[in-house]
Structures are given as structure tokens and as C-alpha cells.
Amino acid sequence: MSFQLNNFAALKKNTIILFFLLFIITVKAQIKDSIPAGPIADTVKSLIPFPDSAAHQKDFVFPIKSAVSSFNKNKALESNLFYGIFRNADNKIEKLKINDRKDWLFYLVVAVLFFMALLRLSYIRYFTNLFKLFFKTTLRQTQLRDQLLQSQLSALLFNIFFFIAAGMYLFLLISHYDVHISGNKWQQLGICIGLLSMLYLLKYIVLKGSGWVFGISTAVDTYIFIVFLINKVLGILLVPFIILIAFSRLIIVNVSLTLSLLMISAMFVYRFIRSYAPIQKDIKVSRFHFFLYLCAFEITPLLLIYKVLMKFF
């Protein structure tokens, strides 16, 4: 009786084990058949450890291991431009930002152009005769000179324009060569314009006084007329160079400064040539004495102004 009970218990145990094995096999088969074909199926199969998916597990695990093993953290941080962990530290000193805006200079140049256009439209005959007399050396120049001398208001306005244009050019010149003058930019510009105005006013007074003392007023008046005639033309010709020097790049500024200085030198030489013949006609003066006069009253004041600017500013 006990033998039969033992056999029955063993059979029952084996039956239960067989039932569980068949249940597991059936469930796996149903899951495998219910997964559709495509990328989702490959992903699910790779996650479920089927007996026949060992190759998929191998392909799925080993590339990740190789990618992780080949990743170099130091190289990645070193090549990153935003971190720079392994680069040397930079030592920088903060500087006060200098406002180099040129809006005020732009409006000033526009005002100068407007003033020149106003003179051109208001005194068109004087403007035309000015350039005719500048280029002509015929006998008709006496008639043109008389016409220009009659327009005293026009002459005054064109002289003022010359002082403004020449003062702006001098201001841009000293700014380019870093010659510092006390005060802000408007004060520096005013100093340049006032300095030129005082220089020519003093020159006018000295020439008038010399002509009255030595009795050569006619020759002195002729010389003064030629000086201010060439100055008026020079003030108009300086306007394009002022625009280029104020708003161009450095290479164009250097070329403009060189050309403008050559033009100013040529105008001075031309002024000396034009003024020698009328003066020599009225008073018998040798070329040597005329050269001494030029050195004393033309070149020496300019050199003194340059010396003062270099020493005190």
C-alpha cells in the first residue's frame, strides 16, 4: 500500500513539472508569433531573451561596449571651445571703454557742406570769378580783381569758410598724429580755428602797418589780395580731403594726408610766384629780400606754432 502511494506522489510531481514546462513553451511561442515584423519586432526580440536570439544580444551589447571604451573624456573636454579646461588661463586687465563715435563730426561736415553750397548759390558770380582769377594770368585779371574787391561781404564769408575748413583740417591732422590739446573735441576744434584766424588777422595788421609806414600800400594791398584769394580756393579744395580723413580707413587716410599736404605746399609755392611779379613791379625788391620776407612772415610763424604744439600739448 505504501509502495503505491510513493508511486502516485512521484507521478504527481512529474506531472506538475511537465505541465509548467509545457505552459512556458506555449507562452513563449504565443509572444513570438504576436510580435509584428519590422523595427519594433527587432527591438522587442532584442529585449526578450529567446533562445534563438543570442546572436542579436551579441550584436546589441558589443558595439556599445566598444563605443564606450573608445570614448576619451579628456580629448572631448580639450576640443570643446566653450570650456577650455586644459588650456592656460588668460590674464586680462579691464580697460575703460572709449566712445569713438563720430556722429558729431558727421553733422559738422554736413554743416560745412551746407555752408559751402549756400555760398555757391548765393554768390555764384563771385564764386566763378574767384576760380577764373585763380587760373588766369592775363590782362583781364585786373577787371576780375576789381569785381572781387567790390563784393566785400562775399569776400568776408569766403574767408570765414576758409578759416573753418582749414581749422577742421588742422584738427583732423593733430588727431591723426595723437597730438593732445587740453579740453574736449569741440574745444580743440575751436582752438584750431581760432589759432588760424588770429594768425591771419595779425598778419593782415602787420602788412597794413608796414605798407603805411614805408609808403607801399598799393603793393601790400596786392599781396594781401593774392594771399586771401588763394586761401579761399584752398578752403574749398580741402573739403573732399576733410571727408576722406574723417571717415575713411587708415590706408586711405594716410594717402589723403599725403596728397593734401602736397597740395597745400604747392598752393604756398604758387602764392609766392603769383605775388612776386606785382610786388616787384610796384617796388624794386630783389628775389633775395623777397625770400627773406617769406621766411620771416610766412614760414617762421608756422614753425613756431608747430613747436608750441609739440612742446606744450
Q: Does residue 61 surpass a pLDDT of 50?
A: no
298 and 241, same structural domain?
Answer: yes
Same domain, 57 and 112: no
What is the length of the chain?
Answer: 313
Q: Is residue 177 part of a domain?
A: yes
Question: Has residue 98 been placed in a domain?
Answer: no
Q: How many CB atoms lie within 10 A of CB 155?
A: 19
Evaluate whether residue 293 is within a structural domain. yes
Indicate whether 227 pLDDT > 50.
yes
Average pLDDT over residues 260-289: 80
Same domain flag for 174 and 272: yes
Kindly state the average pLDDT of the residues 265-279: 82
User: Do 299 and 194 share a domain, yes or no?
Assistant: yes
Distance between first and last Cα of the chain = 132
Q: What is the domain count for the chain?
A: 2
Which tops the pLDDT comparison, 25 or 113? 113
| Residue 29 scores a pLDDT above 90 | no
More confident residue, 17 or 274: 274
Same domain assignment for residues 70 and 134 = no
Phi, psi of 96, rounded to the nearest 5 degrees: -70, 130
pLDDT value at position 209? 86
- The reply to whether 200 falls in a domain is yes
Residues 134 and 253 in one domain: yes
Say yes or no: 218 and 156 in one domain. yes
Mean pLDDT computed over 246-256 = 91
Q: What percent of the chain has pLDDT over 70?
A: 62
Domain of residue 283, residue span: 107-312
**pLDDT tens digit string along 161-204?**
999 999 999 999 888 887 776 678 888 898 889 988 998 898 88
Provide mean pLDDT across the span 33-47: 50
pTM of the model: 0.64
Residue 85 lies in a domain: no
| Residue 154 cell numbers, joined | 562775399
- Report d(CA 126, CA 119) in Å as an integer: 9
Task: State the pLDDT at residue 102.
Answer: 78
Q: Are residues 113 and 197 in the same domain?
A: yes
